[in-house]
Amino acid sequence: MNAMDISIAAARAVVIFGLVLSLIPVLIWMERKGAAYIQDRRGPNRAHILGFRLGGLVHMLADALKLLTKEEVTAAGVMKPLVFLAPALAFFAATATVAAVPFSGPISVAGQTLTLEVANMKAGLVYVLAISSLGAYALLLAGVTSQTSYSFLGAMRAASQFISYELALGMAALALFLVAGSLSLTDIAADQGAVLWRWNAFRQPLAFLIFMAALFAEASRLPFDLPEGDSEIVGYHVEYSSMRFAMFFMAEYAHIIVGSAVVAALFFGGWNIPFADQGLIAANAERIAAVAWPIAAVVLMLAGASIAQRFKKRFGDLRDYEPVMIGLPMMIAGVTLAILYAPLGDVILSTRWLPAAVTFVLGFTAVLAKTLLIASVFVWVRWTLPRFRYDQVMAFGWKILLPAGMLNLVVTAAIMLYLG
Amino acid sequence: MIEAILFYFLAACAVVSAVGTITRINPLMSALWLVAALLSLAGLYGALAAPLVAAIQVIVAAGAVMVLILFVVMMTDRGPEGMRPRAIRFSKMLGALAAAYLAIVMIVAVAVPPFVASPASGGYYESPVTLGGFVAGKYAAAFELAGVMLLVAALSVITIAKWGERTRSDDDDCEEALS
């Protein structure tokens, strides 16, 4: 392992971790807008910087400022180190899982094959289960060290819920291991290939349903949000304020993002695009780029124009000019792209690294699109289903999910044995 | 070089947290120290080029010790501040006997190493097939015995918890009769 390898590995770790971090506000924004549209409201749309509202995204910045400047309260007589450790552990467990997730297929640059995950682990699936199960400790620590009955109740609920649903999660993942013959997330994604009905969501529909249900429970999202239970016990983080609370909040959303990325890799072929496999894309990279360039220019111009024409004097302040300030630069960018096509097109289209770049961009876009789509299912379910009762959670986990997972595992094993 | 530093660091973590496990009075704290000890062991496995074993160790640490903590809470049944120091009769005598036994076992183990250096090359312990072969083949009996032991422990804790419930007060009995 030379300095080059180490620096590539470090760069991958930083970039992918930064990607997860920057997706957190996007997901929170999706959550608020999703909630609003499901409840027939407009959602966040007031905060603005120099008139830029960006459809409510600026609210996330206001939130961050608010949380950072709030007073941090620590109850008397608690074990300080553990109180500090709990949110950090929550965030660590939620984000460290992403190390095993492939963000694009293997690409070859200058005779070298680059893989786009932090660590290509042979035991990737077990690693994901292991790290995500550590998250329960954060909830337990937070709840128990706060010395409040409500947070203690939340912690106990969290612990028992995690133990119950971890088994179902493992059972569903084991069936995938049998199908792909490898525990590495990259291998499982590669094994599904580009043929739509070879994706595990279609080959293993029962495992997919079990995995999703268990993932909701592990992320303590709404049908299973008993550890928090806003309307009954405020839950394990009732004693936390300011940025320490924000760490829990961010960990919850990071858990959803990373969980969605894992589901995308395990059940939806990861970086694979339906019916267009990596070899096909690499072979036709030049054609794809040659078509995509003018299309991008035209789309930018049209989208910019349609945004800019919404200009209307409504508020009487800077907010009125937001459509123009966003639409015009988009139109200018589109025109620039179109003009640059003539002198630069041939140079760029004939470069050596074009196939690698096109495969990477398409694969990365596919992973990101799948991840956000699955994350939006989390939002959708949260604002649709009410919370389970505690006994229902236990009965669902132990009496339905676990037996179904075992059955799925046995049937899969039998079929794999029969097929040889 | 870096492997040596990693080894000594993780080993020191393991020893310190193991000492924490047996010296804390609050059972919850000793359970948390146990988690730290098991995680350091997982790190050691990882440093020994066995990431799969390390990951499984983390799952065991997280899952099994979590159950242990729930047991503790069930048995004491009074929340974190109600947990009293544990006391067993003849505990010192039992402890001395157990320590003597362990010392003899360790002396024998160091004098006659039962494990020879593995012939495996890199990646041998990474494979789930290798590990599965061990667990379901060579060490199947030990594996099953450990499982039975855990089951017995779970059953006994439930029994103890329920037994404590029955003797607590008469009000509970009335509720039970009504329900």
Domain parsing of chain B, residue ranges: 1-80, 124-179
Cα separation, A339 vs A333, whole angstroms: 10
What residues in B contact A391, CB-CB < 8 Å? none
Selected residue with higher pLDDT from A339 and B173? A339
Q: What is the largest CA-CA distance in chain A?
A: 73
Angle at A257 between CA A177 and CA A47, to 5 degrees: 170
Cα distance from N-terminal residue to C-terminal residue, chain B:
67
pLDDT tens profile B49-84: 788 888 888 887 777 777 777 766 666 655 444 445
Encode chain A (420 residues) as per-residue pLDDT tens digits.
577 778 888 888 888 889 888 999 999 999 999 999 999 998 888 888 887 888 888 888 888 888 889 888 887 778 888 888 889 999 998 888 888 888 888 877 766 777 777 777 778 888 888 888 888 888 888 888 887 888 888 888 888 888 889 889 989 998 998 898 888 888 898 888 888 888 999 999 999 999 999 999 988 888 888 888 778 877 788 888 888 888 988 998 999 999 999 999 999 988 888 888 888 888 888 888 888 888 998 999 999 888 888 888 877 788 888 888 888 888 999 888 888 887 777 777 777 778 888 888 888 999 999 999 999 999 999 999 888 888 999 999 999 999 999 999 999 999 999 987
Instruction: Confirm whether the ipTM is greater than 0.85.
Output: no
3-class DSSP assignment, residue A183: coil
Closest partner residue to B62 (CB to CB) among A121, A130, A152 is A130
Rounded CA gap, A208 and A201, in Å? 6
| CA A393 to chain CA centroid, nearest Å | 25
Phi, psi of A4, rounded to the nearest 5 degrees: -60, -50
Quote the minimal CA–CA distance from A228 to chain B in Å. Answer: 18
Residue type, A260: S
Closest residue in A to B64 (Cα–Cα): A163
Assess whether pLDDT exceeds 60 at residue B176: no
Q: Which residues pair with A52 in a beta bridge?
A: A49
In DSSP terms, A276 is beta-bridged to A273
B96 touches chain A (CB under 8 A): no
Residue B137 DSSP label: I
**pTM for the whole structure:** 0.85
Distance, CA of A88 to CA of A69 (rounded, Å): 19
Q: Which of residues 105-164 of A touch B (CB under 8 A)?
A: 121-123, 126-127, 129-131, 133-134, 136-137, 140-141, 144-145, 147, 149, 152, 156, 159-160, 162-163
CATH number of B1-80: 1.20.120.1200
- Beta pairing partners, A49: A52
Distance of CA A389 to the CA centre of its chain: 27
Rounded distance between C-alpha atoms, residue A206 and residue A212, angstroms: 10
Interface of A with B in 228-287 (CB under 8 A): none
Alpha-carbon distance of A281 to A283, in angstroms, equals 5
DSSP assignment of A188-243 equals: HHHHH-S-GGGSHHHHSHHHHHHHHHHHHHHTT-GGG-TTT-TTT---TTTT--HH
Q: Mean of the per-residue pLDDT values for chain A?
A: 87
**pLDDT above 60 (res B170):** no
Residue A112, strand partner residues: A109
B interface test, pick of A2, A89, A129, A145 with most B CB neighbours within 10 Å: A129
CB A12 within 8 A of CB A116: yes
pLDDT, tens only, B22-45: 888 777 788 888 888 988 999 888
Closest by alpha carbon to A273, among A204, A192, A184? A192
Q: B69 and A162: CB-CB below 8 Å?
A: no
Q: Which of A134, A163, A177 lies nearest to residue B67, judging by beta carbons?
A: A163
Cα distances (angstroms) measured from residue A197 to each of A95, A193, A262, A276, B111? 30, 10, 19, 13, 60
Within chain B, what is the greatest distance between any pair of CA atoms?
A: 69
pLDDT in tens, B86-118: 555 677 788 889 999 999 988 887 777 655 555
CB A211, CB A264: distance < 8 Å: no
